[in-house]
Amino acid sequence: MRVTEPQLRTVLLAQAIEHADAGHTLVSAVELQEATRHAVAAARARSVPRVGVAEVMLDRATTIAQHASGRDSTVAALNPQPGHGERGGLAPWVARGLPLAALLLGLAIDRISNAHRVDLLSPPLLTVLAWNVAAYLLIAWRAGRRSVSSPPGAWLQQALRPLGHPLGDFFGQAGRGRGLSARIAADFHRRWWAHAGDLLQQRTACVLHLCAAAWGAGIALSLLLRGLVVRYQFGWESTFLDAAQVHAIVSVLFAPLTLLTGLTPFTLQEIAATQNFAGESGMGGSRWVGMYVGLLLLAVVLPRLALAAWARWREHRWQGHIDPQGPAFDALRASLPGDLVIGLHGPQGEVQVLLGAGLQTPQGDRLGFAEDPAQPVDAVLAWAASPPPPAWQAAPRLALRWDDFGASWVLEPALFDSLDAALPAHHHALARLRAAWVERNEQRFGQALQALAQHLQACAALHSLAPEAAAAQYAQRVQTLEATLRTLHGAPAAPLQRLAPPADPAQRLPLVRRADSTALAVGTSAGAAAGAAAGAKAGALIDVGTGGLTLGAGTALGALLGGTTAWVVRALQKKDEGRQDLLHHAAEVACTHYLVIAHQQRVPPDEAMQLASRWAAEVTGTVAAHGAALASALKNGAPGDEAVQTLLRTMLMGILQRSFADRAAAHRPTSA
């Protein structure tokens, strides 16, 4: 990811603050979390489809740096406003002072070799020219041979490290044992040198080229200014070279100048005339000075200024590189909310159960489900026989059957086990989503238990009414419970059932049906016997289960009310024994309603009758086994008492765990 220099400085400063400030002295843990949340919210406000490290790190780093800068002046100095402050590695006095010093050094040189002589073969002059030519060759060689084994500018990091900040002790390990500000500064500069070596290279190159140009210009100005008060004597002398050889050297030396400017080159006779400094000064000497100054401008000043301008241009175009997938962002990546979309490929009825089940955690994690192949997904949950759509075949596929995770809410954690294995990069987000999913199920289950308890407490008070009035009231209570449970589970409301009082209660009694012999109430013979004794109502309960799981709420409620209202009238005519039977019956109906509504559309139609029969036997036997405890809790408990809810939780969780024992053993929810 490419970032500008201010952005890079801010991100690295935020990392240094988090690393050095382990005690959260400058920025508290709450502020760090708020910075993350605000950055995520800002990214989502920009309609970012997936929020990752790259989308939030800049906004988050800015917030963290602002918090710390407002509390510590040293940190504030490391986080200058755009256009102000230090230049990321080279202090301003270095960038401006060195070229000026080089210019003054060139002006202060009293001679090239002698105060009154200008030697054509002056070793200092030849050294200056040779040094610059060697520098140009080195630059060309480095440009043609870009190293891929080390980052740009790595060779400068150690050599020029003391120039990066007035407090050289802030670098490397020097921050150890010092105060928090020093540790933050040391950590920041260590990170900065690691990320901005190529930027430092361009800035250092610009300064060095300016220094070389200023030095050459200083030497040229020194020759011109000193010529105002000094009479130069031009010439040469050598023990081993003759005039012809010196002429050849001078011709090569001044060839670029004579070719570009059209100046007349030195002749052999002119060279021979100046041997042993025998030449005359005056107007002839000014020509020699002009040639020297022109050579310095052409070979030193102008090329160096061009190279400095090139380095400056590259500096302005420079952008830093940050790897959002790198280990430096592991902690941030773990804390970021996940935006996960899971594709669904299965029967339409079962798909609808999950389409509306998406959720969002308090930390901002979002889990959604999609059935449209045009929507990008992170993984595909496919339990149909046909392959997923072609657009989804590249995504990880979860090998789960519907019975493994969708048949009941107690199995749903198995979905997150598969997601965690398929999407390891989202482990932390999936852990938070799993916890939120389980918490939502537990909260819904608790609200259902509260509704069931209130319903049973209201039914327990019906014995004070006349049998016919109690039966009508009971029918209304069942309808109210039905509506409450359906609203709680997001199911459509059932149509109201208008039932007339039974003309002949004996004719309205439900038929007796045998309970499923494979279903045991609580695993005891007493529970089984009690279930058989209560079998007169099993047929109605089976009708409720089958109707609710397959035909819908209206059929289920109609079957129940039509088959049991008359029984309520007859039961209440038995006084105390009838009251006990009514409480048992009300508990059976309430538990059956919960099981049916909580699993509507989850059970395949060909399994509905078998499951309804099983639940009828389970509910009948379980209520019979816990009847005494339930009656005592209803008799002694006040409205809102949790004793009834706790007992109902035990009863329903027992039924659910036995119904899905093979699949729910590893995903049993924690009881409240």
Q: Which of 72-76, 226-230, 384-388 has the lowest mean pLDDT?
A: 226-230
Residue 237, both tokens: 């002398």
Give the Å distances, CA to CA, from 266 to 125, 250, 254, 258, 287: 18, 8, 9, 10, 10
- Of 178-182, 228-232, 377-381, 423-427, where does the model show the most confidence? 377-381
- What phi, psi does 434 have (nearest 5°)? -60, -45
Among residues 347, 369, 349, the alpha carbon closest in space to that of 358 is found at 369
**Which residues are CB-contacts of 349 (< 8 A; sequence separation ≥ 6)?**
601
81-99 tens-digit pLDDT: 655 444 444 566 777 888 9
Residue type at 611 in one-letter notation: L
State phi, psi for 359 to the nearest 5 degrees.
Answer: -150, 170
What is the DSSP code (8-state) at residue 507?
Answer: G
Q: Quick check: helix, strand or coil at residue 614? A: helix
Mean pLDDT of 415-431: 91
Residue with tokens 């002009």: 290
Torsion over CA: 65, 66, 71, 72 (sign): positive
- Return d(Cα 644, Cα 160) in angstroms, integer: 77
The DSSP result for 628-641, as a single string, is HHHHHHHHHPPTT-
3-class state of residue 141 by DSSP:
helix
pLDDT for the residue numbered 27: 92
pLDDT band at 10 (very low <50, low <70, confident <90, very high): very high
- Confidence (pLDDT) at 548: 52
Predicted local distance difference test score (pLDDT) of residue 472: 82
C-alpha neighbours within 13 Å on the C-beta side of residue 152: 19
Residue identified by tokens 């327990």 is 460
- Burial of 12 (C-beta count, 10 Å sphere; 0-12/13-18/19+): buried
Measured between alpha carbons, how far is 185 from 53 in angstroms, rounded to an integer? 24
Q: What is the pLDDT of residues 599-639, one digit of tens each?
A: 877 877 777 777 778 888 889 999 999 988 988 888 876 66
User: Residue 188's pLDDT is what?
Assistant: 92
Question: Quick one: pLDDT band at residue 275, thresholds 50, 70, 90?
Answer: confident
The DSSP bridge pattern shows strands 366-370 and 359-360 to be: antiparallel
pLDDT band at 528 (very low <50, low <70, confident <90, very high): very low
**Confidence (pLDDT) at 265:** 83
pLDDT tens, 276-298?
877 555 445 677 778 888 888 99
Q: Tokens at residue 336, please? A: 């970021």
Residues above pLDDT 90, as percent of the chain? 24
Pick the range with the lowest mean pLDDT from 20-24, 209-213, 330-334.
330-334
| pTM (global) more than 0.85 | no
Residue, of 543 and 209, whose pLDDT is higher: 209
Interatomic CA distance for residues 441 and 324, integer angstroms: 35
Q: Calculate the average pLDDT of the chain.
A: 77
Chain mean position to CA 25: 25
**C-beta of residue 65 within 8 angstroms of C-beta of residue 18:** no
Q: The tokens of 388 are what?
A: 């997923």
In this prediction, residue 522 carries a pLDDT of 33
Residues 6+ apart with CB under 8 A from 24: 32
